[in-house]
Amino acid sequence: MNPPPLTWTKATFHVPIHPPGESKIVPFPVASIVSGPFGIFRGDTKGPDLGVSQPRFSLVLLACGRFLSTSARRIDCQVLAEELAPLEVAWSATDPHAVTGPGIETARWLLQCCQRRYEL
């Protein structure tokens, strides 16, 4: 039996970004969509996409702010979240190093299939 699909709702959440010209990473509020432990927003680690370049959407682990993947289409982030959600991984961990569990190797493999990816 397949798990139920994620239900996406609009929300504001914070993502850690490294603004151009800044030396530190800062939390930045973005208004976008969330479902379960995941958030998706238009932008990447540099901040929200202002529409001046190719669109990019990032899948973020909400509890710890970890970037999981950046894609050209929001649907790609949503599909990846659907694949990751049922895995036995501590998605609610607030420490990025504590995001682990029996399904972590499968999660890493799925993330490696993405064009732009980040380490778990």
> Is 40 a domain residue?
yes
> Is 44 a domain residue?
yes
SS3 1: coil
User: Amino acid identity of 56?
Assistant: R
Instruction: Give the other-Cβ count within 10 Å of 25's Cβ.
Output: 13
SS3 68: strand
> Is 94 a domain residue?
yes
> Is 104 a domain residue?
yes
Q: Can you give the residue range of the structural domain that contains 87?
A: 10-117
> Is 3 a domain residue?
no
Residue 62: the pLDDT is: 96
Mean per-residue pLDDT, 48-74: 88
For residue 22, pLDDT over 60 is answered with yes
Q: What is the DSSP letter of 106?
A: H
CA 92 to CA 95: how far, in whole Å? 9
For residue 35, pLDDT over 70 is answered with yes
The count of domains in the chain is: 1
> Is 2 a domain residue?
no
Residue 106: the pLDDT is: 95
For residue 4, pLDDT over 80 is answered with no
> Is 91 a domain residue?
yes
Query: Percent of the chain, pLDDT > 90?
Result: 65
- Tell me the pLDDT of the chain averaged across its residues: 88
Whole-model pTM: value is 0.87
Instruction: Give the pLDDT band of residue 48 (cuts 50, 70, 90).
Output: confident
Contact of 4 with 32, CB cutoff 8 Å: no
> Is 5 a domain residue?
no
For residue 116, pLDDT over 60 is answered with no
